[in-house]
Structures are given as structure tokens and as C-alpha cells.
Chains A and B, each alone.
Chain A
Amino acid sequence: MDKSALLKTAVEVRKGIVSSVHSAKAGHPGGSLSAADIFTYLYFEEMNIDPKDPKKADRDRFVLSKGHTAPGLYSALAHRGYFPVEDLLTLRHTGSYLQGHPDMKHIPGVDMSSGSLGQGLSCAAGMALAGKMKGMDYRVYALCGDGEIEEGQIWEAAMFAGFRKLDNLCVIVDNNNLQIDGAIDEVCSPYPIDKKFESFNFHVINIDGNDFDQIKAAFDEARATKGMPTAIIAHTVKGKGVSYMENSVGWHGKAPNDEEYAAAMEELGKAGEALCQK
């Protein structure tokens, strides 16, 4: 998929995020939007996957360690063809398979249930180790939040993955700089994130995580890196694409009301139209 197509797809993924969270009257738009370009790149370009065969043995795996940004994952999966886009509107509704946090038992394309922060990177490391032991060449991706890495288990997993040289593992840290209680460097700073992963024997790449050129270059570099796992520190804007949500901690876990929803969809609609005219 070329860059223009990726940009357009990312707008659709963002619309899905805003629509599903609005319909749910709850959920986490901020961190879903900051990572929307990464979700888009992974599911439409990077990963070896087949929506018609979500469980195929040699597929690349993705673990959403920051599981609360499920709306971003679900929107990417739906637009990629794992399930109908209309179903996004059932997010968090009683009886829907689209649970508030990723549920691998019921959602096609979800490789690991998650939601309790800090656990996903360990699961991804287990998948990567399994691939190595089986001599399979699939890759495993894990997306962590920058607040999430305050959890100690992340560093247990990093130690494990670095020690075992799991070069088929790539962790992306969505560094949007905001967590529920405020800026991450004002709550309990995990900085310097890059140096921490380096010291745990990761190859580290810093990028603008909302720039497809840099995203592509980083994932290419990660794939070419042998002998150690890669950590991509993706510097992003929380709420990216919906101006009133951008860099606003209040939109971490809040749904837009009807007016706000209309404004967001109008803005995203215009962004999509502008891309089509290019």
C-alpha cells in the first residue's frame, strides 16, 4: 500500500475509533488515535496476515499490550476485513463480541487477550520464543503505552527478550506523553525510554509515530535487525486527527457527545477529502 493509500486508510481507521467510542458512550479515544497510524501500517502493510484465515500458523502476531486502546485495533481489523465495519458501533454494548478490551476468544484477528497493563509484552515474548523454538519465521509485534511501561513487568519482559535475543520481536512504545493523571514526566517519569530499552539489549529507533515515512523506515530497520529485539519509540500526539482531542489528557478515556462526535467526523471527513484531491 502506498503512502497516499495509507494516509486515507488511517483517516478511515480514525473515523472507526471515533464512531465506536461515541456509540459505546465510553472507551479510550486518545491513545487509539495517537496509535492509529501504527495500527494502520501494521495491518495494511507490515504484517503477514490473512483476514480470511485469522489463525494461520505462520502469521505475524500482534499483542495490544495497552489493551484499553482496543477501538484503534478493532477499527484497523474491521477495515482490513476481519469483521464488518458496521460492527464497530456495537463496541462495549451488552452481548457484542467487541469487548471493552481485546478478547481473543471472540474477536477475529485478536491474537491475545489484554487490558491489564504490563502483561502483553511478556505474552509477545512467549510467542516470539515459540517461533524461534519451532524454527518459524513469523514476527511478533507488541504495542505498549508510555504510561504502561511504568509497570515493572514490562522490564521483566524486556530483560527476557533482550537476554534471549528475540530478534523476531518488535515492541512499539506509543509515546504520546500523557497518562490518566497527567503528563507522564509529571506522574512517574519513565524517561529516558530509549536508553532504558537500550540497556535491556534492544535495538532502539526513535521516530515520529504519526509519520508514515518514518514508520515504514523503522519497521524495515526492525526486520533487518538480527540478534536483538527492536524497540520503536513512537513519538505521537494523543488524540491525533481530532483537533479538540489532541494533546488533551481529558480525552484519554472519555466518549464524545453527539455534538463533539459530529465535529470530529466532519474534521476527519475533510481530512479524507483533502487527501483524495491530492
Chain B
Amino acid sequence: MSEVKNVATRDSYGNALVELGKEHEDLVVLDADLAAATKTGVFKKAFPERHIDCGIAEANMTNVAAGMSTCGYVPFVSTFAMFAAGRSFEQVRNSIGYPHLNVKIGATHAGISVGEDGASHQCNEDIALMRAIPGMVVINPSDDVEARAAVKAAYEYVGPVYLRFGRLAVPVINDRPDYRFEIGKGVTLRDGSDCTIIATGLCVSEALAAAETLAAEGISAQVINIHTIKPLDEALVIAAAEKTGRIFTVEEHSIIGGLGAAVAEVLSEKRPTKLTRIGVKDTFGESGPAKELLHKYELDAEGIAKRVAAEMK
């Protein structure tokens, strides 16, 4: 077996923007003094005239993008999730969401896998915030292949899209010829009969590894990748509930308001099913190497497998 490649989805973001920028002259990228970190630096280098560094002023950047979109540009607003969804929430809500403008928000450094920078920069609330805005598409890709496909799909979709990317290099799991990305369509990655693990973002590869461990313990876990949290693939969630009757959600986000909440909303109303939300447990993160934090917060394969096995007893 060839060695698994690891790529941070923030790199996928920058690279995808360069590819799209070659084809589409209306694509512009905005940054708030973080182009080196959001990995849009490659776009800046390729298309300096279409890269707008707004300085450390995220609220202004968000609205500048809104204004540009009314004049025919397709702006990708780039900064850390903490500032894109957090600091600029009201700008996104009122000046992008309300008028349903064609602005894409590329939010990098989401979740605790930001690592050493610690809790102030580890946004575990962005999915909850963005999901609450009417008409906002929320995408949290699982790897390099999916992230690049998501950026392309976001460009092609007309309307506001929130894209969530990570800082940590994560395994490439979708590198196969028949891979297709469709906004709002979840993907079953592994079949199983005892329970279903619905994961998003970097937790998808961890969930797949957890399913291996669980199989060895005699638990057959189906694994579903939900890259689009809004609109949620309700039919797939309900089908999984009907098939296995036991659902786990896994996300590098608060258990409040994110994927777990979205799945809970669907199941409680349409197909009541026992559910366990695995995620950041209503707490702030802390400083530390990303992988150590994922382990400590039980969001790596080991943590997920242990939790599922314990709950399935």
C-alpha cells in the first residue's frame, strides 16, 4: 500500500483559487493580512491585480467583498474562522446573507487543530453561527481532493457559501477516479450494520480509522462523510437511521450547533433515533500540538472508537 499523502485543506483552498483564477477573471480574493496563513499567497503571486489585502480589518473586508459582488465580481473572503464567522458575523449576516450576495467565505484555521495558538484562535462555533443564517451554504471538506472540489463548486454556485478549512495536514482519502462533489450530498464511505458514524471535515478520516478498530472489536460501523452541513443531506441521514438504528456524529466543532445539532434536528423531527454527538464538549480549546489536542479531546480515531464502543455496550 502506498503511503497516504497529508495535505492541509487551507493549502487546497489556495491552490484551487489559482486554478479557478486562470479560468475566471471575475474571481477576486480578499485577505486581512493573513495571506501567508490562509494560503492565498499563491493566488496573490499568480494574480496580484485580483488579490486585495485589506489589512487587519475583517469587518471592512467582508463588506468590501459584498460591494464588489454587486458589481459582478465573485469575491473569496479569506481569514481565520474565528474572524470570518466570529468577528464579522453581523457583517456576513446583514450584508451578505440578507441580500443573498454571491460572496464566498474561505475560513481557515477552524477548530482545535489550530494547535499551539490556543483557544483564542480555535473557532469551534463557526458552523453554528453560519448555519443559522438563512440561505447560507456551509461546507466543511474532509481532505485535499474534497476541499479543491468544494472551492470549485462554491464558485459555480450563485449565492453565499461558507467554506471551512483546517491548518493541520490531514490524510487524502478521496483520491479516486469516480470521486464527485455535489453541494448538499453526503457520501457513504464505508458500509456497516450496527451503527453509523456521520463525520465532517478532518474527523472523516479519523472516523474511517475508528471503524477499522471497531470492526476488529466486532462492531460494524457505517461511515458517512457530510461535507455540506447546510443544506444537510437529510435523506441520507434518515436512511442511515433506518438502516443501523444508532447514530454517532463526529466533528471538530462544538457539540452545540454544528453537525451533531443539525443531525439531531432532523432525526428528532423525522426519525427519532438514538444519537451521540462527538465533538468539542461545550468548552474552549487550549494550546498544544494539533494531533495531541485531537487526542486529548477524543476526536482522533482512538477517541472516536473508544466512545462508540462504550456507547454500544
- List chain A positions with a Cβ less than 8 A from chain B: 57, 61, 63, 103-105, 111-116, 118-120, 122-131, 133-134, 152-153, 156-157, 159-160
Contact partner of B65 (CB less than 8 A), chosen from A57, A63, A113, A126, is: A126
Q: Report the separation of the CA atoms of residues A120 and B98 in the bound assembly, to the nearest whole angstrom.
A: 14
A123 touches B67 (CB 8 A): yes
24 contacts between A and B (CB under 8 A): A57-B72, A103-B98, A103-B99, A112-B66, A113-B95, A113-B98, A116-B90, A119-B63, A119-B91, A119-B94, A122-B60, A126-B67, A127-B70, A128-B67, A129-B67, A129-B68, A130-B73, A134-B71, A134-B72, A153-B63, A156-B57, A156-B60, A159-B55, A160-B60
Query: Is residue B34 within 8 Å, beta carbon to beta carbon, of the partner chain?
Result: no
**Taking the complex as formed, is B20 at the interface, i.e. its CB lies under 8 A from any CB of chain A?**
no
Q: Which residues of B lie under 8 Å from residue A122 when comparing CB positions? A: 59-64, 66-67, 91
- Please, how many angstroms separate the alpha-carbon atoms of A174 and B278 in the complex? 52
Interface residues of B in 88-102 (CB under 8 A from A): 90-91, 94-95, 98-100
By a CB distance below 8 angstroms, the chain A residues around B173 are none
User: Assuming the A-B contacts A57-B72, A153-B59, are A125 and B64 also in contact, with contact meaning beta carbons closer than 8 angstroms in the complex?
Assistant: yes
Which B residues are in CB contact (< 8 Å) with A133? Answer: 28, 49-50, 73
- Given the interface pairs A105-B100, A113-B99, A160-B54, the reply to whether A126 lies near B68 with Cβ below 8 Å is yes
Residues facing A in B28-72 (CB within 8 A) are 28, 49-50, 52, 54-55, 57, 59-72
List 16 extra interface pairs beyond A122-B61, A125-B63, A156-B60, CB under 8 A: A103-B99, A111-B70, A113-B95, A113-B99, A116-B90, A116-B94, A119-B63, A122-B60, A122-B64, A126-B68, A127-B71, A152-B59, A153-B59, A157-B63, A157-B64, A159-B60
Knowing A113-B98, A133-B49 are in contact, say whether A160-B55 is a contact too (CB < 8 A). yes
- Do B71 and A123 touch across chains, with their CB atoms under 8 A apart? no
Using known A-B contacts A57-B72, A116-B94, A130-B72, determine if residue A123 contacts B66 with beta carbons closer than 8 Å.
yes
Instruction: Please indicate the chain B residues that have their CB under 8 angstroms from the CB of A116 in the complex.
Output: 90, 94-95
In the bound assembly, the distance between CA atoms of A131 and B70 in angstroms comes to 11
How many of B's residues come within 8 Å of A, CB to CB?
Answer: 29
Q: How far is the CB of A101 from chain B (nearest CB, A)?
A: 9
Q: Nearest B residue to A151 by beta-carbon distance? A: B59
Contact between chains at A160 and B57 (CB < 8 Å): yes
User: Across the interface, which residues of B come within 8 angstroms of A159, CB to CB?
Assistant: 55, 57, 60
Taking a contact as CB atoms under 8 Å apart, the answer to whether B72 and A112 are in contact is no
Point out the residues of chain B lying under 8 angstroms from A120, CB to CB. Answer: 63
Chain B nearest Cβ from A132, distance in angstroms: 10
Nearest to A111 among chain B residues (CB) is B70
Bound CA span A103–B72, Å: 18
Shortest B104–chain A CB gap in Å is 14
- Across-interface contacts of B63 in A (CB, < 8 A): 119-120, 122-123, 125-126, 153, 157
Which A residues are in CB contact (< 8 Å) with B94?
113, 115-116, 119
Q: Which 9 A-B pairs have the closest CB atoms?
A: A126-B67, A122-B63, A130-B71, A156-B60, A126-B64, A123-B67, A156-B57, A113-B99, A127-B67
CB distance from B26 to the nearest CB of A (A): 10
Nearest CB in chain B: distance from A113 CB, A: 4
- For A138, the closest partner residue in chain B by CB is B71
A105: B residues at CB distance < 8 A: 99-100
**Nearest B residue (CB) for A104:** B99
Expressed in whole angstroms, the Cα–Cα distance for A38 and B57 within the complex equals 30
Chain A hits for B98, CB < 8 A: 103, 113
A156/B59 contact (C-beta < 8 A), A113-B95, A119-B94, A123-B95 known: yes
Please give, as numbers and ranges, the residues of chain B lying within 8 Å of A128 by CB-CB distance.
67
Instruction: Name the residue on A nearest B100 (C-beta).
Output: A105
**1/0 per position for B189-232, CB-CB distance to A under 8 A?**
00000000000000000000000000000000000000000000
Q: Which residues of B contact A156 (CB under 8 A)?
A: 57, 59-60
A129 CA to B68 CA in the complex, in Å? 7
- Kindly state the separation between the CA atoms of A115 and B67 in the bound complex, as whole angstroms: 15
In the complex, what residue of chain A is closest to B52 when comparing beta carbons? A129
Q: How far is the CA of A230 from the CA of B28 in the complex (A)?
A: 26
